[in-house]
Amino acid sequence: METTTVPPEDWARRFQELADANTERSMESVANVQRLMLAVSRAQLTPDALADALPRFGQEQGPEIYERLARLLASFLAGLQRVLVRAGDEYLSSVVPSGPLRSLGPRAVSPPPPGDAGPAEWTAWYQLFAARAADQQAWLTRLYGLMLNEVAAGRLSPDAVQYAATEFARERSGQFLAEIAELTSAFLGQALEIADDSVDGLFAQLFGDEVALGAELVVEGSGPPGSTFTRGLAVDSERDDRAVVSCSATAADGFVLAVEPSSFELGPGASRTVSVRVTLPPAPAGGAVEAGTVVVRKEGEEDLVVRVRAVVEPAS
């Protein structure tokens, strides 16, 4: 009979927190790339200049970026392996009698990554990690043979193996899934950080360290699931003549963003309020999350990137 296990409330809450954090981090990364693309659409940067800069940037910064990504992936895999080995050990100890299990000897333990060490230390770690992984695979092969022998000798029944697996999944799977989710969340966050650093480095190479990627503003609101709130955004002009202003909105998954008006003219020194309307998703979320971005583009002035954050409150 199939059994469906619902993780405890604290695990479910942690999963939601990790999802919210990754969503917020990915929105920041998308906005970072968007600002670079906005520079292409205005007079600061031509597509040809960007195409010429990318190969040079890859030659100068590519090796360091690749090294950071390789170390990040290695650290993630090492952490994942430690969790899986520990889960396997707990399961096996509940299935295989301790006497036969001891006859296999200790399982090889993979070393933790060396962190901020130099290339020589990382090369040595890679070699040791690969050797330990091979040792662990050989240990598992011996274990499967031992289990088959125990079943053939009648000392271990197939029903006992199935029951132990079911009980382990019911009692411990949620905890190990939570640990894997923690590792995955950290991996994604650090990968996005590397991507953001790459965009910042490319922008600095194109325009110099003193040029910012664009102004940024944050507006916030809250409401029950499926409701809509509106925020006013004051847009003014610093030009001495009339300027055309355009506004565009990009919504995060589950949200709907609208900006009104989407295009208008401003006279010298004039100001106008733009309405940002946010429709919340049908289900509540834990805390404030990124709902999307609004970009205000003014002739002859720096683009304004507005981050929209929202709290979807529990339905009353």
Question: Is residue 257's pLDDT more than 90?
Answer: yes
In a domain, 2, yes or no: no
Q: What's the pLDDT band for 280 if we cut at 50, 70, 90?
A: very high
In a shared domain, residues 193 and 237: no
Average pLDDT in the chain: 78
Last residue of a domain, one of 172, 207, 242: 207
More confident residue, 154 or 31: 154
174 and 75, same domain (yes or no)? yes
Mean pLDDT of the 163-181 span: 83
So what's the pLDDT on residue 210? 40
Residues 172 and 260 in one domain: no
For residue 306, the enclosing domain spans: 215-312
Contacts of residue 183, defined as CB under 8 A and 6 or more positions apart, other chains included, come to: 76, 79, 80, 83
Beta carbons within 8 Å of 295's beta carbon, 6+ residues apart: 34, 38, 247, 248, 249, 250, 303, 304, 305, 306
Structure tokens belonging to residue 280: 């919340």
Q: Is residue 3 part of a domain?
A: no
For residue 105, being part of any structural domain is answered with yes
Half-sphere exposure of 93 (CA within 13 A, CB side): 8
Q: Tokens in use for 51?
A: 């195409």
In this structure, the answer to whether residues 243 and 105 fall within a common structural domain is: no
Whether the Cβ atoms of residue 261 and residue 274 lie closer than 8 Å to each other: yes
- The strands making up 228-236's β-sheet, listed across from edge to edge, are 228-236, 271-279, 256-260
pLDDT in tens, 126-167: 888 888 888 888 888 888 888 888 888 888 888 888 888 888
CB atoms within 10 A of CB 209: 9
Q: Average pLDDT for residues 118-128, to the nearest whole number?
A: 86
Report yes or no on 46 lying in a domain: yes
pLDDT band at residue 214, thresholds of 50, 70 and 90? very low
Tell me the whole-structure pTM to 2 decimals.
0.56
Answer yes or no: is 229 within a domain: yes
Name the token pair of 79. Answer: 């952490």
Residues in the chain: 316
**Residue 232: per-residue pLDDT:** 82
Residue 1 lies in a domain: no
37 pLDDT higher than 50: yes
Q: How many domains are there within the chain?
A: 2
pLDDT at residue 104 tops 90? no
What does the pLDDT look like over 54-86, one tens digit per residue?
A: 888 888 888 888 888 888 888 888 888 888 888
179-191 per-position pLDDT tens digit: 888 888 888 888 8
CATH of the domain at 280: 2.60.40.2310
The predicted pLDDT at position 64 comes to 86
Check whether residue 202 and residue 252 sit in a common domain.
Answer: no
Q: Do 203 and 219 belong to one domain?
A: no
Residue 247 falls inside a structural domain: yes
One domain for residues 166 and 225? no
Helices 47-95, 119-152: crossing angle, 10 deg rounding? 40
Q: Are residues 224 and 197 in the same domain?
A: no
Determine the Cα angle at 183 with ends 177 and 188, to 5°. Answer: 120
